[in-house]
Amino acid sequence: MSKFFSNWWIFMIFFCVACIFCSFQTYSQYFEICDNGIDDDGDGFIDINDTDCICPMELPLSLIPNPSFEDMTGCPLNENMLELAVSWQQASSATTDYIHQCGGFLSHTLFNDDVPLPMPDGMGCIGFRNGKPLSPNFKEYTGACLTEPLEEGVRYTLNMWVGFMNEVDSPGFELTVFGASGCQSNGILPFGGDNTNIGCPMNVPGYEQLGSERVEGVSEWVNTIISFTPNSDLDVIVIGANCDPNPFDHYYFFDNLILQKTIGFGESLGITGHPCTQNVVLNAPSFEVETYQWYKNGIAIQGETEPAFTIPDTQVDAANYQLLVTFEDGSCELSSPFLFEIPDIITMQSLAICDNEPVQLDDQSVNETGIYTELLVNAQNCDSTVITDLTVLPSYDISIERIICEKQEYILGTQVLNISGTYTEIFSSVTGCDSVVTVDLTVLPSLIRADAQGDASIRLGEQTPLQAELMNLDQLDILSWASSNSLEQICDTCLFQLVRPERTTTYTLRTIDVQGCEIVDNVVIEVDQFYDIFFPNVFSPNQDGVNDFYYPHGTNNIAQILRLDVYDRWGNLVFNNRNFLVSDESNGWDGRYRNQNANVGVYVYVAEVEFIDGIIQQFKGDFILSR
């Protein structure tokens, strides 16, 4: 027969001792009767709250290795020593602490309180911080590679203990479980690399949040159960606080983390109805047992000995309900507590509206900054309080005056304006509220007329004129020329000038009249990069005054001849010259070699030429020396 929860044997042999004093007899009760709702032994504990009535639940084998932190390689003496606990890993760069009684390290050095003793299971546990040092994103997490992966779509339960110090250093918090796949993958454990302020695992790829539960306690250990269903196969578990920023420095402890398929913890109570509709029924599976007994907050409910129990509609306070079943062999099983609680649902929301757009809250339309409370009833008949922090943002109505000059434009939103008049545009402010802007635009006529003359196409080295044609020169305040080639020297205030650009260049004429209106006009000179040089194919150095020297011929687009070398047909260098001007016979070869007339014949030249735009080219060829 499959048992209801987990198999334990429960009750001890009861006995009583009769004492006779003087003339009457008094019976003292030294044991607790576990189903009568009375503190029989006078120790302050009633029914299953008393240790006399223990029917413990046997927990399954955890998928988390070393769940109670008892297997270790050494005793921790200080913080950040989780590596001493076998199989456990620092899940975050912000490091958790290994606590163990063997080393005497029982709390973080920055906190006054120690871990609550005794620990739930053994002598070891871990400690972790939620918040600080570089608040609000500093959080410590612990993690482990599981002994077998969690399966997608399968329900799992984590039964664990959370330890608290005082209520200042360990206030209630949202205990949260995360999972990932790829236990040995870089970036899974620890997540976030070396960034101790990365926050929670959800801030890095590969993690999913599995479940959470709010836990509270003061100087004690609290047993906590979280159930969840993974969305994918996972082999890494990470546990800590939730992802909310926390600017404070809070500290907690973990111990005895039992993770297993929910079915491994035994069958649960069947639950129908909802607390807000006051029709909650708790059901046990029907099978033959000796007795059923229902309990509220650990105290037997008299007369409730059937497999089903209906929570009375008079129950308005939170209460834990459990079922104890006893089998014919004397063993017992006790269900996990079912917390009956009529939820007081409080929803906080922040809204920002514009002052001309009121918002409807419940039965009122509001457009003033403030905090508003609405009392609602949700679909399950639960009272729901919605608290709205409303901020009313201003819209604006702005009027401005602008003056532009003829041929200028004024941009107002989507409008391009160049005519005097009054114009209106609606803008959305940085807060998202509509604002009306009205512009009174005045367009000033230009007092002068200016035209830049000289668009042309030239060859490299040629000159071309620039000319400014002006009308009403007496109204001129400023005239200037500018070249797109910042290295070019030009006359920036001349009405007329000659320019010799080395590359295609734009010249900008800018004039400003006495009322400040500007006229800008451009001249584009396109330069053909024509590299013009001529090397003769024959010369006759016979001193007749004609063609007696061999030299390159060219125009003013050549800056200089960097090198001219002449070789005879055997490769001998018979002439060379460096860095001289083109078309200069005095720098050419006179036809002599080693103070004698060179032989008639074919010679080869090699030249490097620098042009005025900085380009250097090499030229090669041959020519004939004749006499």
Chain centroid offset of residue 164 CA: 32
Whether residue 482 is predicted with pLDDT greater than 90 in this model: the reply is yes
How far is the C-alpha of 200 from the C-alpha of 183, rounded, in Å? 18
How far is the C-alpha of 57 from the C-alpha of 54, rounded, in Å? 9
pLDDT (tens digit per residue) in 209-234: 999 999 999 999 998 888 899 999 99
Looking at the DSSP bridge assignments, the partners of residue 576 are 565
Bridging pattern class, strands 234-241 and 142-150? antiparallel
Burial environment of residue 159 by CB neighbours within 10 A (0 to 12, 13 to 18, 19 or more): buried
Phi-psi group of 303: left, alpha or beta (phi > 0 → left; psi -120 to 50 → alpha; rest → beta): left
Task: Give residue 274's pLDDT.
Answer: 84
Helix (H, G, I), strand (E, B) or coil at 587: helix
For residue 534, give the nearest of 601, 469, 585, 583 by alpha carbon: 583
Whether residue 270 is predicted with pLDDT greater than 70 in this model: the reply is yes
Task: Give residue 30's pLDDT.
Answer: 65
At residue 8 the predicted structure's pLDDT band, cuts being 50, 70 and 90, is very low
Residue ranges of domains in the chain, CATH in brackets:
1-58+268-342 (2.60.40.10), 82-265 (2.60.120.260), 345-393 (no CATH), 397-444 (no CATH), 449-528 (2.60.40.10), 533-625 (2.60.40)
How confident is the model over 429-444, as a mean pLDDT?
A: 87
How far is the C-alpha of 437 from the C-alpha of 402, rounded, in Å? 12
Task: Give residue 151's pLDDT.
Answer: 95
Q: Which residue has the higher pLDDT, 381 or 627?
A: 627
At residue 17 the predicted structure's pLDDT band, cuts being 50, 70 and 90, is very low
Bridging pattern class, strands 291-296 and 250-261? unpaired
Residue type at 302 in one-letter notation: Q
How far is the C-alpha of 273 from the C-alpha of 278, rounded, in Å? 7
pLDDT (tens digit per residue) in 40-66: 888 888 998 887 887 766 678 999 999
Contact partners, residue 417, CB within 8 Å, separation at least 6: 409, 410, 411, 423, 439, 441
Task: Give residue 107's pLDDT.
Answer: 86
pLDDT (tens digit per residue) in 231-251: 999 999 999 999 999 999 999
Q: What is the CA radius of gyration of the chain?
A: 48
Whether residue 191 is predicted with pLDDT greater than 60 in this model: the reply is yes
Token duo for residue 316: 């308005």
pLDDT (tens digit per residue) in 546-560: 999 999 999 888 999
For residue 361, give the nearest of 350, 348, 372 by alpha carbon: 372
Q: Check if the beta carbon of residue 561 is closer than 8 Å to that of residue 581.
A: yes
